Structure 1
């Protein structure tokens, strides 16, 4: 297998609005990130994925960009950005920017021009269509509820927005759009950044003729546009004109991606991207009777989850590269969704989840606070939520689908994106040390017990455990490059797999329940008596048994 620095790296995602506020306005900022770079150095990560910091009216928390080459005033200045980048590089930390080019803000200069007239030079930068029989051009739904089309009386036409009404989709079929995007990307690369995480990049090429989706399917705009007819052609062009000229890490958020498509996006020949984010393992189980998309989904049974992750592990082996993640700014907290965030099991299950993920083949992503075992906020009041997706869904499901307030609040507590966006918990002082002002969103009430200051000094903390996981990946090639094999696939409690590189072996055992579970005999027989316990989340192990949420990794040679 070809070696590369980005395969051996561990990436840490920062959601700037919630990371660290340096000026007391309640909003995280670039100087706050600079202040905390030593903390990330201590953790041992290699790359920061920085969620958007560009100029934006903030309809979708910065994913609606009005100027790609300016910094959002709330976050600071370009000088602040340059200082952060320079300090990160001094510490040996690379910076990966969030690239949001499926859409812009409706306040971007291109769109302001585009909507003026049908013959404006920027008209074809976006996707405009006449209505059909007094209705929208097709039946596509926005991923944020409602129609994917907005009527604009100025020219008596509709524009496409797969997300918010303030996020018009760019027309990637127009070569001038692609040229301007590539020009902007080169500008950032010349500044010295180290890569791009590409937001919903699988949606940039729309299906020919924009046909109707299948009625009744949730988010058919999304599924109808994913992996469109020219997406690989456009990414190859991006690679030729930008990416291949620099030593970058690139990951595409690829909603709706299949294993076969992923082999094209992240192919080993390097003609498109390094890796993709796929979301099969983050959704609800296939047996769940989902009426409302993600909102009433249930955690999938462990055998199904293992099968999905293992299919990606073995399916991409030698052909493409995996990205490994359990949480990000769009997901609930991983310990709340995949583990157990009760006081008794939060720490132990957070360590188990980290072990299960970080021992797989691929580049691991740590979402801010995951290394502390931060969990869902479980806000009781609707007014505490800030996320446009959550608020739109509340309105739609309670007003038109008959969902009660109590039921919808239950959905938000479990799965709202705001669960991942509460402020980083730095210490046990007011507002968890995030701000001296009023935070833009409430701090999780458990911050006096769950915070970085307490965990850094505790050798048994989740932070210290993550530090060890990251160090082990840097020290052991088998964790990065070894082959993967799932054992006991039908076991409903245990996730067991091996990693193989030459004569080296790792045996990874994880218990996803709060019960003690026997290790299958066919597994124990494979572990030699002289096997070394590489890492484990219990100080004392029981022979042939895994305790509640226990994780162990054995290393040995054949």
Structure 2
């Protein structure tokens, strides 16, 4: 017998002796509220659908494509900012929190969108951007002029002189976080661009203003909010210089990572604001009735801090904080255990009685197909859709869209465009924001304009929704539709999660519920085939039936496989089921 065969037999025997670890008991998470097992779909309005031929997506464009969300199996959508804005930071510089930017349409258009979505059974979540305003906002103009009552709406500090700011703080985009204003002979603080002054949440008037913004949109009928940039809402009141990062030698002095940010992010008061906003939406529901208005919080922070977003044990916060650990902790060459690790990190740290969520990408991160491999895109979509709790999809991930190509001259992202040209390819977020690829017509069916706000990917003629929607075609989109149906099964809503690395690059998990079929997900993300056994999962025995496969799989639904010996092709992902009544 060859050495290779001995190794394979030993590996198989070893795994047959391993029992998969139960890391999540689903029995306590009943589907008793609409959001707890929902797939949220992020629409980046600028890039979804242009209805008026100006090259920029808009609200009427979204309305025209709402049926597509239904066809995809989506029941809730989150819209990136659509509020009045000069557009310096793609709408995150808001000049009026209570109005729609004319680039996207009118308030009447928004009202129609909301009604059309609700008529189709789709919940609508808005971005809530409380940390800062645009420098064009009336509050900032009044504060800049020291108008009574508005003097302290923003963070103002005396510098050493008109050219030397109060301390060494830098923005998320690099360079000093302080901008001098002659009218006040003071600097104002901005965590992002100079056009985005930070509000001062130590001022009770500011807190009330932002509570009123929430209530305004709740009165409109929205179903919840995604709270942007939670870590940056408060700064340490002593305004001390921040220390150098441990690896500061790897960065330039003007770059964000040059410093250790212990005074400008993740202050305890920021967590408390989430609790206050939860009280606002909960009280609104008590007074007005209707379904839960959900809060989703955004933060790239340590897990112990993120978990405080849920609750402090007494007071509730976000219904769920976005889970970015699959995004930040995995790479193209990650092993099975390295993928399992962030899954365990979330579930084992999540406070009891709360709901998990899984995010693969967004408008700030390279697309999944680019970052993790187009050949692995289905496997990762299957992974997050079939884990317990909420799944979040960034527009285009369901058809395996890759990053588009955008030159420095075409770029729109201030994070990259304010820095040196040679840093653009490394720092820009434009690549993941290119227009949705609807079909093979001009501009991928996104717009009739001669020029779109960002160029459409050159790949659109070979990768678009129209091609992937054709009957009989094994495509990313058909896989996604199958996932949205499959995750409604009770085993996925209520079942326990057992997870195991079956080989270096092969991971598997089961979703088990007494009295229901047991489902197993197997994903070989490696570059070579691997023969594995499901024996670590005691509830899976005998033959299993294929339910769903990745688009690159040669298998089909209905195929029968021996659970003790399944050969997985490179980059293949499958879901199988086994009748089971075993208590777990």
Say yes or no: does 1:434 pair with 2:446. yes
Residue in structure 2 matching 1:421, options 427, 433, 457: 433
CA drift at 1:486: 2.8
Instruction: Show the 5 A alignment for 1:343-422.
Output: 345=375, 349-379=376-406, 381-393=407-419, 395=420, 405=422, 408=423, 411=426, 416-422=428-434
Say yes or no: does 1:129 pair with 2:157. yes
1:45-67 CA-partner distances (Å, limit 9, x unpaired): 01110100000000100011000
**Residue 135 of structure 2 corresponds to which residue in structure 1?**
106
Question: Structure 2: how far apart are the matches of 1:14 and 1:149?
Answer: 32
Question: Structure 2: how far apart are the matches of 1:356 and 1:38?
Answer: 25
CA drift at 1:509: 1.2
- Relative distance call for 1:236 and 1:317 in structure 2 (3 A) is closer
Question: Structure 1: how far apart are the matches of 2:549 and 2:35?
Answer: 26
**Residue 239 of structure 1 corresponds to which residue in structure 2?**
278
Question: Structure 1: how far apart are the matches of 2:468 and 2:140?
Answer: 47
Question: Structure 1: how far apart are the matches of 2:223 and 2:324?
Answer: 25
Residue in structure 2 matching 1:248, options 276, 286, 293: 293
**Residue 344 of structure 2 corresponds to which residue in structure 1?**
310
Question: Structure 2: how far apart are the matches of 1:503 and 1:240?
Answer: 39
Instruction: Show the 5 A alignment for 1:397-546.
Output: 405=422, 408=423, 411=426, 416-437=428-449, 438-459=451-472, 460-474=474-488, 476-488=489-501, 491-502=503-514, 505-519=518-532, 522-523=535-536, 527-537=540-550, 538-540=553-555, 543-546=565-568
Question: Structure 2: how far apart are the matches of 1:498 and 1:317?
Answer: 22
CA drift at 1:351: 1.4
- Relative distance call for 1:312 and 1:99 in structure 2 (3 A) is same
**Residue 576 of structure 2 corresponds to which residue in structure 1?**
554
Question: Structure 1: how far apart are the matches of 2:278 and 2:328?
Answer: 31
Higher relative contact order (CA 8 A, sep 6+): 2
Residue in structure 2 matching 1:335, options 358, 361, 369: 369
**Structure 2 unpaired stretches of 5+:** 1-27, 249-255, 286-291
**Structure 1 unpaired stretches of 5+:** 286-296, 399-404
CA drift at 1:257: 4.1
SS of residue matched to 2:52: coil
**Residue 323 of structure 1 corresponds to which residue in structure 2?**
357
**Residue 20 of structure 2 corresponds to which residue in structure 1?**
none
Residue in structure 1 matching 2:173, options 130, 144, 148: 144
Say yes or no: does 1:11 pair with 2:25. no
Structure 1 residues 309-318 or 523-532, which shifts more?
523-532
The answer on whether the counterparts of 2:326 and 2:358 sit within 8 Å (CA) in structure 1 is no
- Relative distance call for 1:130 and 1:299 in structure 2 (3 A) is farther
SS of residue matched to 2:36: helix
- Relative distance call for 1:187 and 1:523 in structure 2 (3 A) is same
Instruction: Work out which of the two has the higher radius of gyration on C-alpha atoms and give 1 or 2.
Output: 2
The answer on whether the counterparts of 1:281 and 1:309 sit within 8 Å (CA) in structure 2 is yes
Using the size of structure 2 for normalisation, the TM-score is 0.84
**Residue 264 of structure 2 corresponds to which residue in structure 1?**
225
The answer on whether the counterparts of 1:313 and 1:484 sit within 8 Å (CA) in structure 2 is no
CA drift at 1:441: 0.7
Structure 1 residues 7-16 or 531-540, which shifts more?
531-540
The answer on whether the counterparts of 1:299 and 1:337 sit within 8 Å (CA) in structure 2 is no
CA drift at 1:2: 4.4
The answer on whether the counterparts of 2:56 and 2:453 sit within 8 Å (CA) in structure 1 is yes
SS of residue matched to 1:205: coil
Say yes or no: does 1:279 pair with 2:279. no
Instruction: Show the 5 A alignment for 1:64-75.
Output: 64-75=93-104
CA drift at 1:156: 1.5
**Residue 291 of structure 1 corresponds to which residue in structure 2?**
none
CA drift at 1:123: 1.8
The answer on whether the counterparts of 2:114 and 2:124 sit within 8 Å (CA) in structure 1 is yes
**Residue 9 of structure 2 corresponds to which residue in structure 1?**
none
SS of residue matched to 1:6: coil
1:79-103 CA-partner distances (Å, limit 9, x unpaired): 1111111101111111000000111
1:431-477 CA-partner distances (Å, limit 9, x unpaired): 00111112111000011111112222244221111011011112x13
SS of residue matched to 1:40: helix
The answer on whether the counterparts of 1:162 and 1:222 sit within 8 Å (CA) in structure 2 is no
Question: Structure 2: how far apart are the matches of 1:366 and 1:175?
Answer: 36
- Relative distance call for 1:276 and 1:114 in structure 2 (3 A) is same
CA drift at 1:261: 3.9
Question: Structure 2: how far apart are the matches of 1:309 and 1:369?
Answer: 23
